[in-house]
Structure 1
Amino acid sequence: MAINLRNRHLLSLKHHTPQEIEYLLDLSADLKNKKRAGIKGDLLAGKSVALIFEKPSTRTRCAFTVAAIDEGGHPEYLGKNDIQLGHKEDVADTARVLGRMFDGIEFRGFSQKVVEDLAKYSGVPVWNGLTDDYHPTQILADFLTVRENFGRLKGIKFVYVGDGRNNMANSLMIGAAKMGMHFVIGAPESLFPDPALVEECEKMAADCESGATIE
């Protein structure tokens, strides 16, 4: 079955099927190869993308900017002092304004609710470049690296050592559950992941019949 993600948001990986995640990884690998070969694309020709950064970042900003330009798009950086997001204007109003001017919105900041409200009210695709809860674009990059080195995701044992409650641990656990990986978190009990999310991920794995395990 053909995969069509046109006009879809990327707020976390919860709402993407394993097949859709695999498609995104295939697309990423193809674009990476074209970049290395010096081949410019036109997937975003005539499109403008708003890059909202409440939190500064070297890699995320550069990655989104270069990716848009390489595919013929125009990225517009909007730092925390450039717009009135959540201050003089509420998020819904800002989303509506940006949605009339831009073809897509990337958000990197704090609250997951903000990126979800941008998606709800803007009328254009919204991509989560990081919130306190999730970091889906980073997980796609990590999974591409795993696949490049091991040739697969399914059955790989992926060990994460650190704060099991943060956005990376949350997103890795969700992605691993979808893709049939064996995900292990090494953390002191005070930094264990949210039991509700662990249960949700175990249900995702069962629903997808991915064979994933979480420890």
Structure 2
Amino acid sequence: MTRHFLSLTDAGGDMIAAMLNDAIDRKAARKAWPKAQVDADAPLAGHVLAMIFEKNSTRTRVSFDMAMRQLGGSALIMEAGSTQLGRGETVADTARVLSRMVDAIMIRTDDHAKIEELAHYAEVPVINGLTDLSHPCQIMADLLTVIERGFALPGLQVAWLGDGNNVANSLIEAAGLMKFKVRIGGPAGYEPNAGFIDQARAAGGQVILTQDPVEAARGAHVIVTDTWVSMGQAGGEKHIAAMQPFQVNAALMAHAAPDAMFLHCLPAHREEEVTNEVIDGPHSAVWDEAENRLHAQKSVLLWALGKL
């Protein structure tokens, strides 16, 4: 059966834990190596990943490309505007063609239904590099960073501040799978997807919604935020005005646990959703988090391709 990674639930809690352990081991094994040196076991030698980008990207593009190189494989970058997909070829036909030529497909797109259709017709694994609904690869990197900082996932207290967007949805999904608590602090009308909340609660995760940023942050081990206006999102000025009380600044961080860490998937709008004092301060783990996109995604690729 083809292993698609459209959501964290596709892998499940036990396999997420296995992927994170694999990522930790692989990262440690190549400490101080040149970035393009292939892992000793070269598990994806001879494999190629097609990467389809319908949204701008820095971390997703570089991390997946370098992940394939370090695993011994290679990657093809496909900009939607320069492919037949961007000129009206159906998603189904694109899936059929790519399945004959590559070993896996990663797509970064808007409508989540598009990636579901791609996976339905593809005969090779499809990996969610981001949709408007979810961003599971980002949360894999976040969980890896949390573990590296010495926190256990069961019982972890996480605070999300700001817009209930795709990253927030996947964070909530992770709370259910890995049994931790998430407090979502944001204005009314900007809550995360209700389906993710219901699913996480049913699986044993704790999800609390509040319009009080201090209540969200109080005692948290991890404080997470994201840009207030996502790529291509309308209503920017109104959106930003509603989010102002949820800025992550030193005063808000003071309500978190003393050893709390700050995460942001980047790019950051400095002095908007987060102040320079926080993102450049001692609580920040954003640069480890960004690097961990590479290490976590290597293990996602190995799982999807049946090597883990």
TM-score, normalisation: structure 1: 0.89
Q: Provide the residue aligned with 1:11 in structure 2.
A: 6
Q: Deviations over 1:62-109 (max 9, x none)?
A: 000001011111100001222122642100000000010000000011
CA deviations 1:189-215 (Å, max 9, x no partner) are: 11122333312221122xxxxxx2110
Counting only pairs closer than 5 Å after superposition, residues 127-142 of structure 1 correspond to structure 2 as 127-142=127-142
What is aligned with 2:182? 183
1:214 maps to which residue? 207
Aligned length: 203
Runs ≥4 residues deviating over 6 A: none
Give matches, 1:64-83, under 5 Å. 64-83=64-83
Unaligned runs of 5+ in 1: 1-5, 206-211
CA distance in 2, matches of 1:197, 1:11: 14
Matched residue type, 1:100: R
Partner of 1:192: 191
1:150 maps to 150
In the TM superposition, residue 17 of structure 1 has moved relative to its aligned partner by 2.0
3-state DSSP of counterpart to 2:139: helix
Percent of matched pairs sharing the same residue = 41
Residue in structure 1 matched with residue 23 of structure 2 by the alignment = 28
Question: Is the 8 Å Cα contact of residues 170 and 193 (structure 1) preserved in structure 2?
Answer: yes
**Aligned mates of 2:150, 2:179 — CA distance in 1:** 14
Are the aligned partners of 1:92 and 1:118 in contact in 2 as well (CA < 8 Å)? yes
Query: Whole-Å Cα distance in 2 between the matches of residues 157 and 97 of structure 1?
Result: 44
Q: Write out per-residue CA displacement over residues 5-51 of structure 1, whole angstroms, 9 at most, x where no aligned residue.
A: x8411101123321111011111112222332426221110011101
TM-score (norm 2): 0.63
Q: 2:11, 2:106 → 1: CA distance?
A: 18
**Contact 1:158 1:182 survives alignment (8 Å):** yes
d(CA) in 2 for partners of 1:83, 1:135: 24
User: Match of 1:185, as an amino acid?
Assistant: I
Aligned residue for 1:40?
38
Structure 2 unaligned residues grouped into runs of 5+: 209-308
Farther-moved stretch of structure 1 (171-180 vs 187-196): 187-196
What secondary structure sits across from 2:146 in the alignment? helix
Distance 1:61 1:157 in 2: 30
Q: 2:293 is matched with which residue?
A: none
SS of residue in 2 equivalent to 1:106 = strand
Alpha-carbon contact 1:34-1:40 (below 8 Å) kept = no
Q: How many angstroms apart in 1 are the aligned matches of 2:56 and 2:17?
A: 29
